[in-house]
Structure 1
Amino acid sequence: MRFRRRTRPARLLLALTLTPLLTGCFASAGEESGDATGERGPRLRVALAFPPAENLSPYGADATILSRLGVTEGLTALDANGSAAPALARSWQREGDRAWLFTLREATFQDGAAVTPARVAAALTHATEARPAPAALSGVTLTAEPAGGDRLRVTTDSPDPVLPLRLAGPALAVLSPKAYDTKGRADPVGTATGPFELTKVTGATAATLDRFDDYWGGLAHASGIDARFIADGTARTNALRTGQVDIAEAIPVAQAATLDAATRRETATTRTTGLQLNTSTGPFKDPKLRAAAREAVDTAALAKGVYESHADTGTGIYGPAVTWAAGKREQPVGRAKPTAPHGTAITLATYDNRPELPEVAQVLKQRLEKAGFAVELEVREYARIESDALAGRFDAFVVARNTLVDTGDPVAVLASDYTCDGGYNLALLCDKDVDRAVAKAERTADTSARQSAALAAEAGILGTDAVVPLVHQRIVTGVGTSVEGVLLDPYERTLVGTGTRR
């Protein structure tokens, strides 16, 4: 099965682990002890911040929802160190420069079909043909085919030294043949492989999941999950405080102090909140005005004021959770000198699913107006604003972006967000020097050299002022005192697993 994408060469950075399953893996896999007796524990009640934007399609932003609820999984997963760890594939080995041989574990889809190399190959084919395309496969040409017995061979048209890490992306979940229709759409209801089976979706308000008793990793303790999508952060916090839910993600920092200390869990994440400036149309096509906007921002005040010190001051695209970046970061290159705005009118937008963002935007509005811009502010729910943001209908957009969410590779976010062909290029940046720097990082196989190349590309991107890093977030999760085994990780891919119970 062969499929081709039209963007950039393969990209990945973090070191691979080609050994047996590591301890500390964040994925909801078999190392968590499930309920061996088969008894069904109480259902978990979970409040999520983001309603489905794409009808729970496994290919776009909703893929992370499915991953966090323990519905879907791929061939590999990310461990605590950001390395590739076994999931549906129990081991793998490289064959030359362009091929990898994966050995599958014995597993079953939630509709009863067996997980086989042919079905996994078909699932990967469907994923790469999806629109919107999964960011984890941007620019990659793959051949996936059975290799005899329980083995699957994946071949790339150019060397991809860390392909197993790429396959850990939430959007590359493996679904059964029944999931796919003739128009390329995929339905995860009852067709995934995770410990919890999605059985019902109620629009953008709720989802029902039941324990999947044939899960390869063992029985989950909880008998199921009742998930509610609550965009309002105060409402999520109140739901936890009043005992309506057991777990509430993304507690607003303004609400964190209202929770008992025993119910607050703070996790450093790889998520950076940034101000994306439209470099293609409108006032910020002028690099001097972009520089003026950057100069107007006080990132330390945002971290201390808006985030009440539950965030770190923005230092770059990668934050302190990307631990290797601190010693390798380069200074931005090629920045223009700022010019006075003289009342230049701009539109600034953001979304309210992450409750700090509207306040961040309001503070930015005040700072930009003080610098001489005339600012119109627009705030919507993310599902209602994403398409306009990607189409460049705003001059500036405040977004909280997990720099490792798509593949676990920091180079991937550079290609997706800041190159001419990038699929999530909110700044609409198209700079030949940036493209060359990102392409160089993508081609670099040695881990240390690839890190250096990534930070050289970051310096070039920051030099354009297409993005102003504001803060690096820490996420506060509300967890009921009776709940155990919640999976909190810096990549924000997991939340509940077989060991989560109350």
Structure 2
Amino acid sequence: MRRPLLSALALTSASVLLTGCFAAAPDGGGTARGQDGRVRVAMMNPPRSGLSPLSDDAFKLSRWSTAETLVVLDAEGDARPALATSWKQHGTSWTFTLRDGVTFHDGTPLTARDVERSLTRAATASPKPRILDGVRLGVRASGRTVTLTTAAPDPLLPQRLSSPQLSVLSARAYRGKTVDPVGTGTGAFRLTRVDGTTSASLDRYDGYWGGRAKAAGIDVTFVPDGTARAAALRTGEADIVEAVPVSQAALLDQDLVTEVPMPRTNTLYLNTRKGPFRDPALRAAARRAIDARPLVEGVYEGRADLAEGLLGPAVTWADGLRPTRTPAPAGDPDGAVITIGTFTDRAELPEVAQALQQQLRAAGFTVRLDVREYAAIEADALAGAFDAFLLSRATVLDSGDPAAYLFSDFSSEGSFNLSQLADPGVDAALRKAADAPAGDTRRRAVMAAEAAVLATDAAVPLLHERVVQGDAAGVVGAAHDPRERLLVTPDTYVK
């Protein structure tokens, strides 16, 4: 009962602050009531890089349907046409044919040279968009086609190009030292105004190649406080609220709350290089001692999915291809001392860590916790300073493909190998998955790689998080996207 009571008090306090958060902008483009046909959106994270598409801010541009990429991903993670209508591979090169009739928000037509400029700027940026980590990309325009060349054959290149960080903008966006997305996209809504980290406004772009949007525009307010975002929905100050905290969702009208499985898994990574968990039998003992059901029902109040593996229900094909595995025999902890690290940035993780501490103590381990902000703990985690590390991790990354996540986290060459795993069998399975062609062959190889990782007990998957989104009663057609790339689409409007 403690959490709902405290949440209700916080929600009341947050409501007092909403008038200031949702005040109209000086030019009339704010989020106040009375603007017919516009959609008011409360978003969690303010821009960090001036809405540059070369940063994580690119996902905001995608969620507002203002900047677009050559391809998009379908529910299975396969590439589908967007600004490009077709593509073909020739060894280390892929040639993309552009869609006719596309114009930028400044009125200029989309050309192959525009695509070359945007993708070259991304490929030579410092730092690069993460989807291009380790990729040497050459871009050459010719007529209505663009040819992209990599150092080695890349079966995943079309999926990579779906990343919002590889959006195509007009020449005007690149006149300064930073990339400016205001009025330079190709989407259904034209970005007209950005007020620092406070708000943004977009108007319908009537020249959109995909047809006229149903809403007249979008008014965005950035509200980092989750209680305030939930209150914005409850008080009618916002039409769409992203990332409603689990602790607040139960306090809202449940008809206004939508939950969608997302490709994000809470996993306990066990240090296989040093400390007690060098012993596979003790890793097996930890895995056997952990019961994630109380975490799902208690900490996440039923708004999460119990993990059967590293890949959850948001990866729609994973469960049907997952092989049966036989658990390794467990040893006796006999008081072995372990330290679990985690961070406070995701509110539920410290509570999950406390529950795991109790379960592992009951199994015979001596357990200490080290909880800090993520910025203060990441370096130690990557260096293997903890016996175990609790992390909420996206499992398909920007390409929509789990192979990149598995390689990053569990390969002996992986850049995010918290388990310090160096297993020849796992490495071989990961290489096979990374090299497999897109489609069923790649999916089966990915699931074989997952099985190889889980057989080592280097990671104990706990649960899969869900996107919890609030839509007011009059909202029609808002996207509920597990990859969090779409939110307001051309079909979204408020009655």
CA distance, structure 2, for counterparts of residue 277 and residue 228 of structure 1: 40
Deviation of the 1:277 alpha carbon: 4.1
Deviations 1:357-394 (A, max 9, x none): 343233224334444333234254x6777677556666
Deviation of the 1:276 alpha carbon: 3.3
Deviations 1:234-263 (A, max 9, x none): 332122111121111222333323222321
For 1:93, give the aligned amino acid: W
Determine if the alignment matches structure 1 residue 241 to structure 2 residue 221: no
Deviation of the 1:496 alpha carbon: 0.8
Q: Does the 8 Å CA contact 2:203/2:218 hold for their aligned counterparts?
A: yes
Match for 1:492 among 484, 489, 493? 484
Determine if the alignment matches structure 1 residue 448 to structure 2 residue 443: no
CA distance, structure 1, for counterparts of residue 483 and residue 421 of structure 2: 25
Determine if the alignment matches structure 1 residue 160 to structure 2 residue 154: yes
Aligned to 1:326: 319
Match for 1:126 among 121, 130, 140? 121
Aligned to 2:221: 228
Deviations 1:191-234 (A, max 9, x none): 33323344444554544444444433234333433333334433
Q: Does the 8 Å CA contact 2:78/2:439 hold for their aligned counterparts?
A: no
**TM-score calculated relative to the size of structure 2:** 0.80
Aligned to 1:308: 301
Deviation of the 1:76 alpha carbon: 0.5
Q: Does the 8 Å CA contact 1:349/1:397 hold for their aligned counterparts?
A: yes
Alignment of 1:273-422 (within 5 A): 273-277=266-270, 290-330=283-323, 337-338=330-331, 340=333, 342=335, 344=337, 346-353=339-346, 355-371=347-363, 372-378=365-371, 380=373, 396-422=388-414
CA distance, structure 1, for counterparts of residue 88 and residue 283 of structure 2: 45
Aligned to 2:82: 87
Match for 1:169 among 152, 163, 168? 163
Tell me the secondary structure at the aligned position of residue 272 of structure 1. strand
Change (3 A) 1:326 1:253: same
Q: Does the 8 Å CA contact 1:350/1:397 hold for their aligned counterparts?
A: no
Change (3 A) 1:187 1:430: farther
CA distance, structure 1, for counterparts of residue 297 and residue 290 of structure 2: 14
For 1:88, give the aligned amino acid: L
Aligned to 1:43: 38
Q: Does the 8 Å CA contact 2:159/2:399 hold for their aligned counterparts?
A: yes
Aligned to 2:493: 501
Match for 1:108 among 103, 114, 123? 103
Match for 2:72 among 74, 77, 89? 77
Deviations 1:42-90 (A, max 9, x none): 332222233445554434543323322223221011234433222111x
Tell me the secondary structure at the aligned position of residue 228 of structure 1. strand
For 2:333, give the aligned amino acid: A
CA distance, structure 2, for counterparts of residue 285 and residue 50 of structure 1: 39
For 2:64, give the aligned amino acid: L
Aligned to 1:257: 250
Aligned to 2:18: none
Aligned to 1:143: 138
Cα RMSD between the aligned structures?
Answer: 3.3
Tell me the secondary structure at the aligned position of residue 393 of structure 2. strand
CA distance, structure 2, for counterparts of residue 262 and residue 305 of structure 1: 22
Q: Does the 8 Å CA contact 1:369/1:375 hold for their aligned counterparts?
A: no
CA distance, structure 2, for counterparts of residue 53 and residue 310 of structure 1: 29
Tell me the secondary structure at the aligned position of residue 323 of structure 1. coil
Unaligned ranges ≥5, structure 1: 1-39
CA distance, structure 2, for counterparts of residue 126 and residue 103 of structure 1: 20
Deviation of the 1:410 alpha carbon: 2.1
Q: Does the 8 Å CA contact 2:265/2:463 hold for their aligned counterparts?
A: yes
Q: Does the 8 Å CA contact 2:288/2:330 hold for their aligned counterparts?
A: no
CA distance, structure 2, for counterparts of residue 73 and residue 277 of structure 1: 39
Deviation of the 1:117 alpha carbon: 0.9
Deviation of the 1:413 alpha carbon: 1.9
**TM-score calculated relative to the size of structure 1:** 0.79
Aligned to 1:465: 457
CA distance, structure 2, for counterparts of residue 196 and residue 250 of structure 1: 22
Aligned to 2:27: none
For 1:58, give the aligned amino acid: P
CA distance, structure 2, for counterparts of residue 202 and residue 285 of structure 1: 51
CA distance, structure 1, for counterparts of residue 72 and residue 431 of structure 2: 25
CA distance, structure 1, for counterparts of residue 287 and residue 52 of structure 2: 36
For 1:130, give the aligned amino acid: A
Change (3 A) 1:121 1:417: farther
Query: For this pair of structures, how many residues does the alignment match?
Result: 458
Q: Does the 8 Å CA contact 2:268/2:388 hold for their aligned counterparts?
A: yes
Aligned to 1:34: none
Q: Does the 8 Å CA contact 1:274/1:468 hold for their aligned counterparts?
A: yes
CA distance, structure 1, for counterparts of residue 49 and residue 331 of structure 2: 40
Q: Does the 8 Å CA contact 1:334/1:460 hold for their aligned counterparts?
A: no
Q: Does the 8 Å CA contact 1:51/1:229 hold for their aligned counterparts?
A: yes
Change (3 A) 1:125 1:418: farther
Higher RCO (CA 8 Å, separation ≥ 6 residues): 1
Deviations 1:293-339 (A, max 9, x none): 43442112222322233322111111133232223323569968556
Tell me the secondary structure at the aligned position of residue 369 of structure 2. strand
Q: Does the 8 Å CA contact 2:357/2:368 hold for their aligned counterparts?
A: yes
Alignment of 1:5-84 (within 5 A): 41-52=36-47, 56-84=51-79
Deviation of the 1:95 alpha carbon: 4.5
For 2:135, give the aligned amino acid: V
Deviations 1:458-482 (A, max 9, x none): 1222234343211123322110001
